[in-house]
Chain A
Amino acid sequence: MNERRKFLKAFLFLLPALVILIIFRFLPIVLSFFISFFNWGIAGKGSFVGLGNYIEIFKDEKFYQSLLNTLWYVLTVLPGTIIISMFIAVLLNQKIKFKGFFRTTYFLPEVTSIIAISFVWKWIYHPKIGIANYILTSLGMSPLKWLEESRGIFEMIFQRDLPKLLEGPSLALFSLSIMTIWKSIGYNVIIFLAGLQNIPEHYYESAKIDGANVWQTFRHITLPLLSPTTFYVFIMTTITSFQVFAPVWMMTGPPAGGPLGTTNVIVYYLYDMAFNYGKYGYGTSIAFILFLIILFLTIVQKKYGEKNVFYE
């Protein structure tokens, strides 16, 4: 078969996928690069502004706040998710009865509607009649405003004014992090369990012979040999957390992104700019910056991760 026929055949196999991917994945990216150079609004193309949108973004305090909020969200979700799911996975990786039941139960939030779940958590967090406050008050603590609290959590813990960067995420944003951790434990337990099952049994046997205790075994065998999985969970959690949207839209405000803009994360901000303010060009520019951040993170994590990850 000659080259041309080979090419033609492959082309026919690829055609259905490529038509869709080119029109709905590739074209929008080219388009968004183009849009971001215009003062594009609901009315149409507007005027060419060059790097104007990007310059405006770098002067936009709300953008910096959304970036900071997103970072806090990622930084709170990451350790919570990794530590809790790894801990559960290690517990489940023993000879446990009802292992399947536990695994299934933990996984449940992952497959149920994020909208329904967000609403239930908003109800749990209700500042006046929510059950979260009922639990706090029964334990003798004072009730919190949860999703309506704009003060930073470190500010609340240490009860003093702190510089802006050290205030921490607002309790409202932190409440979203708690829900996210609750939701994503199941998935990450599955991933960690798969990773744990890849650790050869003989390591544990030799540790036992050497008289290592539970903690030593975990510290010197499980943790280093599990590091490729941990690294994977780290990257995936960072990338998905950077894109949080639905819980912010559902649970905070009105207006969403509140109180005082402390839950205004980057994707919500670009949505808000584009669809509530009709500033398509500006929204697109924010999206582009989001893309660059994620790209950068992936590269940094890959480079840094490779060095610190133990591969057998």
Chain B
Amino acid sequence: MSFMNRIKRINFSMVLTYFILIVIALTILFPFFWMVSTSLKTPVEAVKFPPDIFPKNPQLNNYVTACKKVNFTRYFINTIFIALTQLVGVLFTSILAAYAFARLDFKGREILFISLLGLMMIPMPVYIVPGYMLLQKIGWIDTYFAQIVPWMANIFPIFLLRQHFKTIPKDLYDAAVIDGYSDIGFLFKVVVPLSKPALTTISIFSILASWNSFIWPLVVTNSDSIRPVQVGLAYFIQEQSTSYTLLMAASTFVVLPLVIMFFLAQKQIIESYARSGLKD
């Protein structure tokens, strides 16, 4: 009897667990479903109350109209261009700097490193106004430079890479020196190939950050032709505030590449987040 009870209890708690997990999953997915569903409705259907859960005749045409109204291709190209150039910059600057902090002996290393960590604590919104004014002084407002160059180096990736480089044994370095490697040779032929997980992490963060950055491009751009997709979408939404079907089609359009990218690289992305959250 007690054995039967135990089986019953286990099953019940497992069923409850799955039930809760599924309800939460549906709650998370619902807004995405609702976005796609609305994007396929007719304007009349969309504003009907009580609403229909599924569109009667899916209006794929909404996507065509949305694409005609907004130059999404241009926005996407801008975003990809900005994200990639930033990524190259971040990798270049942080690999070199992290190596200096991890391996090279020089005067003032600790002080410099600690100052950078202090600077890392300054929240991004603090930079908006002075950053804008600085870019105005340089004459970079409304350029790609303004969107790319300031974010081609960041403190967090330097910090993350340095931690990783420090775990690479000193013996390897000594052996490389005997083999006639210079520091640059050692860094790019030995250290970098050994640091793929850490480099993947900083690449993912860099791409996601530039893809999703909003307040910075919002402030430093004026012309439509150089805007990234987030800002383009935001302005489109503000201008057409009531054409819900078109706007949902546009939103789906913007979300889709990210979802695809996420499913392709979900393991790396989730591991990167988990790794960055753990204390060294």
Contacts and interface: CB of A to CB of B under 8 A. Distances in A.
Contacts of B270: 103-104, 107, 190
B50 A134 contact: yes
Contact of B34 (A123, A191, A236, A283): A123
A193 interface: yes
Contacts of B173: none
A173 interface: no
Interface residues of A, number: 93
Interface stretch (B60-68, B151-159, B189-197): B151-159
A226 interface: no
A129 interface: yes
Given A20-B153, A291-B122, A187 B38 contact: no
Contact of A111 (B13, B153, B254, B262): B262
B129 A283 contact: yes
B269 interface: yes
Given A28-B127, A111-B258, A228-B279, A104 B183 contact: no
A163 B132 CA distance: 40
A290 B233 contact: no
A17 B130 contact: no
Interface stretch (A59-67, A75-83, A112-120, A215-223): A112-120
B272 to A, nearest CB: 10
Contact of A14 (B47, B96, B274): B96
Interface residues of B, number: 90
Contact of A28 (B28, B134, B218, B255): B134
A92 to B, nearest CB: 7
A109 interface: yes
A271 B132 CA distance: 11
A312 B278 CA distance: 15
Nearest to B127: A28
Given A111-B258, A129-B47, A134-B50, A20 B125 contact: no
Contact of A29 (B17, B106, B130, B214): B130
Nearest to B96: A13
Interface stretch (A148-156, A199-207, A241-249): A241-249
A19 B25 CA distance: 46
B240 to A, nearest CB: 11
A20 B149 contact: yes
A128 B233 CA distance: 24
Nearest to B17: A91
Contact of A250 (B150, B153, B212, B237): B237
Interface string B8-38: 0000010001101100110111011011001
B57 to A, nearest CB: 20
A274 B129 CA distance: 7
Given A112-B259, A294-B121, A190 B34 contact: no
Interface of A: 3, 6-7, 9-11, 13-21, 23-29, 31-32, 35, 88, 91-92, 94, 96, 101-117, 119-121, 123-124, 128-129, 131, 134, 137-138, 182, 185-187, 190-191, 193-194, 214, 228-229, 232, 236, 239, 242-243, 245-246, 249-250, 267, 270-271, 274-275, 280, 283-284, 287-288, 290-291, 294-295, 298
